[in-house]
Structure 1
Amino acid sequence: MSVTLDSIDLAILTQLQQDATTSNTNLAKKVKMAPSAVLERVKKLKQKGVILEQTARVHPEYIDLKLLAFIFIKSSEGPGNISVAKQLSKLPEVLELHHIAGEDCYIAKVRARDPQSLAQLMRDKFSKIPGLLSTKTTIVLETLKESNHLPIPKKM
């Protein structure tokens, strides 16, 4: 996956990461380009898969999802088989799912209302996934930093 990005592309990405809702005109002013040129660049960055999505980040407490947990998952799958991962990925409570090296196979970032709803998720959904052998759950007490912003360089 090789895409060449110039300093203008990087500036556009930096601005969009800070505020994905910024208008094209405002974005053009910030990167010192014509709005039509910026619009074309953003379109190409999306087509190339550099920009994956533009979303709004919702504060979890306002929608009663106060509990954050990381769940380490061990599966019985052999190399190349990701059926457990496919099932886990379908669960809306699973915000992130990563295939990891080490004793466990996957780590999932999960949001729930409270400990009881997390237990219910584990009991009603995780336990029904064929090939899922075991889990270890770490509950977050306090989030000191949480970001999906990548450190974009000024030049490549």
Structure 2
Amino acid sequence: MLDEISLKILNILQEKARIPNVEVARRVEMAPSAVLERIRKLERQGFIDGYEVRLNPERFDRRQIAFVEVQTRLVGDHPQIGQALTNIPEVQEVHYVAGLDGYLVKLRVADTVELGAIIREKIAVITEVVSTRTTTVLHTYKETARIPIRG
């Protein structure tokens, strides 16, 4: 179980992962060395998976987001299918989902032309794939990997 200070540290790091350790220490009213040790402990315990930079997709001509429902001929979750979808560079997320008994894939591409090519040339060619259904995003109001932390 995490204490109040660890929860505060995690919230601060989610807000800005590159925040200086001294600033985190100031905000939780602890010594920087103690905060650093807590962060290392949170990493070792698996509460922190890593740190990554969020790039601006528009600067890389990746404005279009699409969600593709992928139905397969196999019933159930099959790691080889999930891995094949994961290996497509434009894929940002792959989820095995209930309901359609298949996969929900999030793609970020330049435009619908590229989207169509990826579906035809990279997704539909996976042997077990039977069909796809695509939803394109017109406008994004929120996109985050942050997890709400109580405390």
- Indicate whether the TM-score tops 0.5: yes
Q: TM-score, normalised by structure 2?
A: 0.95
Contact kept, 8 Å, 2:76 with 2:101, in 1: the verdict is no
**RCO greater where, 1 or 2, for CA within 8 Å and sep 6 or more?**
1
1:117 aligns with 2:150: no
Contact kept, 8 Å, 1:69 with 1:137, in 2: the verdict is yes
Match of 1:18 in 2: 15
1:105 aligns with 2:102: yes
Unaligned runs of 5+ in 1: none
- Partner letter of residue 123 of structure 1? R
Matches within 5 A, 1:35-46: 35-46=32-43
1:132 aligns with 2:133: no
- How far apart, in 2, do the equivalents of 1:77 and 1:50 lie? 34
Q: State the percentage of identical aligned residues.
A: 39
Equivalent residue pairs, number: 151
- How far apart, in 1, do the equivalents of 2:21 and 2:125 lie? 46
- Partner letter of residue 118 of structure 1? L
Q: TM-score, normalised by structure 1?
A: 0.92
CA displacement 1:72-112 (0-9 Å, x = unmatched): 11112233522111111111211111111002411111000
Matches within 5 A, 1:27-38: 27-38=24-35
Question: Is the alpha carbon distance of 1:80 and 1:150 closer, same or farther for their aligned partners in structure 2, counting shifts above 3 Å?
Answer: closer
Unaligned runs of 5+ in 2: none
Q: Which runs of at least 4 in structure 1 moved beyond 4 Å after TM superposition?
A: none
